[in-house]
Amino acid sequence: MNEETKALIDESKHKTRKRVKITSQGDYESLFINSRTRQIYIRKLAKNVVRNHKKTMELLADK
């Protein structure tokens, strides 16, 4: 788990909604966080990061 995600989890303890920058293009996703849904959103965030990383790697491989 990276620092940004840790910070997100810590901050979520005292915030209900957090907008998180997911991609380098600046796409944002609103996260509604409470103890029950926190893990789901963190997982969703991680998936997006991985998917974008794969895309980046493919683009670099093409060059």
Residue 7's pLDDT band, with cuts at 50, 70 and 90, is low
Q: In terms of pLDDT, which residue wins out, 5 or 20?
A: 5
- Of the candidates 53, 42, 36, 43, the residue with the CA atom closest to the CA atom of residue 9: 42
Mean pLDDT of 15-32: 50
What pairs with residue 32 in β-bridges?
17
Mean pLDDT of 4-14: 58
Q: Residues 45, 5: contact at Cβ < 8 Å?
A: yes
Count of structural domains within the chain: 1
Mean pLDDT of 19-40: 52
- Domain holding 44, by residue range, is 3-62
